[in-house]
Amino acid sequence: MTTGTSKAVVFGAGNIGRGYMAPLLQQSGYDLVFVDADAELVSLLNQAKEYTIRLIGDETRDLTVSHVGALQSAQEAEIAREIASAQLVITTVGPGNIPFVAPLIAEGVTQRIARSIKEPLNVIACENMPESSTSLKKLVIEDMSAAEVQYVEEHVGFPDATLSRIVAGIDEELKKRDPLLIITEDLGEWTVDKYGFRGEIPNINGLEVVENEQARFERKFYLHNTGHAMCGYLGYFKGYQYMHEAINDEWIGHIISGALKESGVAVRKRYGFSEHNIQRYCALLIKRTRNEALQDTVSRVARNPISKLGPTDRFIKPANLALSYGICPSHISTGIAAVFFYDDPRDQQAKELARMLEENGITGVLEEICKVDRESRLAHMVEKEYEGLKAYKSSLQE
pLDDT tens sequence across 145-154: 999 999 999 9
Query: Residues 85-99: what's their mean pLDDT?
Result: 96
What is the rounded CA–CA span in Å between residue 263 and residue 285? 14
Q: Is 358 left (phi over 0), alpha (psi -120 to 50) or beta?
A: alpha
What b/e string do you get for 229-268 counting C-beta neighbours within 10 Å, with b at 16 or more?
Answer: bbbbbbbbbbebebbbbbbebeebbebbebbbbbbbbbbb
What is the rounded CA–CA span in Å between residue 19 and residue 90? 13
DSSP 195: G
pTM for the model stands at 0.90
What is the rounded CA–CA span in Å between residue 292 and residue 242? 8
Handedness of CA 221, 349, 14, 106 (dihedral sign): positive
Decide: 83 and 89 in contact? Cβ < 8 Å.
yes
Give residues with Cβ within 8 angstroms of 279, minimum separation 6: 264
What pLDDT is stored for residue 3 in this prediction?
46
Longest dimension (CA), the chain: 73
For domain 6-211, say whether CATH 3.30.230.70 is its number. no
- Point out the least confidently predicted range of 56-65, 79-88, 129-138: 56-65
Decide: 159 and 49 in contact? Cβ < 8 Å.
no
List phi, psi (to 5°) of 23: -65, -35
Alpha helices, DSSP H only, in 91-201?
Answer: 98-114, 132-141, 146-155, 172-177
Write down the CATH superfamily of domain 215-397: N-(1-d-carboxylethyl)-l-norvaline Dehydrogenase; domain 2 (1.10.1040.10)
Measured between alpha carbons, how far apart are the two ends of the chain, in Å? 62
Query: Residues 248-256: what's their mean pLDDT?
Result: 97
Strands 189-193 and 161-164: antiparallel
Q: What is the pLDDT of residues 12-69, one digit of tens each?
A: 999 999 999 999 999 999 999 999 999 999 999 999 999 999 999 888 999 999 999 9
* Domain spans of the chain, in order of start: 6-211, 215-397
C-alpha of 11 from chain center: 14
Query: Residues 113-141: what's their mean pLDDT?
Result: 96
Q: What is the pLDDT of residues 59-79, one digit of tens each?
A: 899 999 999 999 999 999 999
What is the rounded CA–CA span in Å between residue 239 and residue 87? 47
Q: Closest Cα partner for 289 from 236, 339, 224?
A: 224
How many helices (H) does the chain have, and how many strands (E)?
19, 12
Decide: 65 and 57 in contact? Cβ < 8 Å.
no
Query: Residues 273-300: what's their mean pLDDT?
Result: 93
What pLDDT is stored for residue 4 in this prediction?
52
Q: Closest Cα partner for 30 from 3, 59, 66?
A: 3
pLDDT tops 60 at residue 288: yes
DSSP 242: B
Decide: 9 and 82 in contact? Cβ < 8 Å.
yes
DSSP 199: S
Q: What is the pLDDT of residues 365-385, one digit of tens each?
A: 999 999 999 999 999 999 999
